[in-house]
Amino acid sequence: MYTDQQIKLNSIENIDERLSVLRITALWAFSESAFGGILHALAIPLRGLFISSAAVLFICLIAWFSKNSKDILKSTLIVVLIKAVVSPYSPLTAYLAVSLQGLLGFLFFSTKKFYKLSALFLGLTVLFFSGIQKIVILTILFGNTLWESLDIFIKKISVEMFNIDHLEINYGYIIISAYVLLHLIAGLFIGIYAGRLPQKIAYYTEIIPSSMSSINGEEIPRREKRKKRNWFLRPTGIFILVLSAGVIILSYLSTELEDNIAISVVIMILRSLVITFIWFVILAPIIKKYFQKFVAKRKSEYSKDLEEIISMFPKFKAIVNYCWKLSSDKKGYKRIRYFLSLSFYYLLLSN
């Protein structure tokens, strides 16, 4: 039975110089800047879950191959800077999420004696925060009225269409709990998987070529770029507007419901519009201005690293297209699963 330190030494000997902290940082930055677009093109739901999972893997690898846990903080800053350069229109919450992930990685890997345990805790914590992020934002935007309205709507539909009457059940909280639980399960899986990465990399080093003469593969289908839509034009926003309209209509059709429910829903919508206006028109521009100043100061400090990492992106895209071609013999979910796994190791180990 090998200890973590023995595994680390064997892994470093096996991979030679094919893997470095800078390369892993580049892949993390590529994931944050381009991976979401790839998942969008493949019409994969819960994209945030996959991007957060990828971040956990890359942070664990940086911790494994770095000499000091402070390298995680440096890599996090570089990823934030590259995200600001490559994807300048990303919401501020995206930069906050990356910063939080890096900080958690630094804290959990302050000692490397318990690598697998740290990887597990990192996976659970990062995915938990990823799960509650949207819940918190929706609650801030719409208040508890949103979840109360969802509960009312589902109860009325259950009674009238399916003759199911369980008034003691709060469906809104059940949906919230199921959503967060899904992320926790993903965090558990990705944490365990990240703990086994050193052994897996040592294995894949033997079967993946270090250099590839031709990586011109079938391109992943692209979706047309659309103008960024306001929240009420996105699927979540449309659902909330339909839900609100349904609750308002039910409040007038059903004698069981209180008269002030319709007023509460209207206030909820007005509240969200006011908060959206304050954020996008007043607060966001001010915060973004200071953030851009911070980025401008730091860009010169890490200019060499930034240029080197950004220059890798076209090669990464070519490798991703190559892996998409290699997965062409599979269909549906099996192809996507195989493609994502194959891409991960080819991106790590192919020059």
DSSP-assigned states of every residue in 33-44 = IIIHHHHHHTT-
Q: What is the pLDDT of residues 237-266, one digit of tens each?
A: 777 888 888 887 877 776 666 667 888 888
Residue 328 gets which letter from DSSP? T
Contact 320, 220 (CB under 8 A): yes
Contact 264, 246 (CB under 8 A): no
Q: What is the pTM of this model?
A: 0.83
- What is the b/e burial string over 280-316, where b = at least 16 CB atoms within 10 angstroms of the residue's CB? eeeeeeeeeeeeeeebeebeeebeebbeebbebbebb
Higher local confidence (pLDDT), 37 or 225:
37
pLDDT attached to residue 165? 61
Residue 101 covered by a domain: yes
Q: What is the pLDDT of residues 204-250, one digit of tens each?
A: 877 776 666 556 556 666 655 555 556 556 667 777 888 888 887 87
Q: What is the pLDDT of residues 297-338, one digit of tens each?
A: 888 888 888 888 999 998 898 888 888 888 888 888 888 888
pLDDT attached to residue 63? 93
Higher local confidence (pLDDT), 158 or 113:
113
Q: Tokens in use for 72?
A: 């995680």
Question: In whole numbers, what is the pLDDT of the chain averaged over residues?
Answer: 82
Residue 13 covered by a domain: no
Residue 267 covered by a domain: no
Q: Which residue has the tokens 């039975």?
A: 1
pLDDT attached to residue 164? 63
Contact 50, 101 (CB under 8 A): no
DSSP-assigned states of every residue in 191-202 = HHHHHTHHHHHH
Q: Tokens in use for 152?
A: 């009312």
pLDDT attached to residue 16? 43
Q: Which of 9-23, 185-199, 240-254 has the lowest mean pLDDT?
A: 9-23
Residue 178 covered by a domain: yes
Nearest partner of 15 among 197, 210, 198, 205, judged by Cα: 205
Task: Place 111 in a pLDDT band, splitting at 50, 70 and 90.
Answer: confident
Q: CB neighbours (10 Å) of residue 231? A: 17
User: Over 85-127, what HEC string results?
Assistant: HHCCCCCHHHHHHHHHHHHHHHHHCCCCCCHHHHHHHHHHHHH
Residue 190 covered by a domain: yes
Residue 330 covered by a domain: yes
What is the three-class DSSP state of 302?
Answer: coil
pLDDT attached to residue 186? 96
**Mean per-residue pLDDT, 135-141:** 89
Task: Place 13 in a pLDDT band, splitting at 50, 70 and 90.
Answer: very low
Rounded to 5 degrees, what angle do the CA atoms 99, 103, 105 make? 115
Q: Tokens in use for 2?
A: 């090998």
Task: Place 160 in a pLDDT band, splitting at 50, 70 and 90.
Answer: low
pLDDT attached to residue 149? 83
Residue 209 covered by a domain: yes
227 CB-side CA count, 13 A: 2
Domain count, the chain: 1
Residue 79 gets which letter from DSSP? H
Residue 276 covered by a domain: no
- Name the residue range of residue 76's domain: 18-141+171-229+289-349
pLDDT attached to residue 331? 87
C-alpha–C-alpha distance, residues 310 and 150, integer Å: 44
pLDDT attached to residue 237? 75
Percent of the chain with pLDDT over 90: 25
Task: Place 276 in a pLDDT band, splitting at 50, 70 and 90.
Answer: confident
pLDDT attached to residue 151? 82
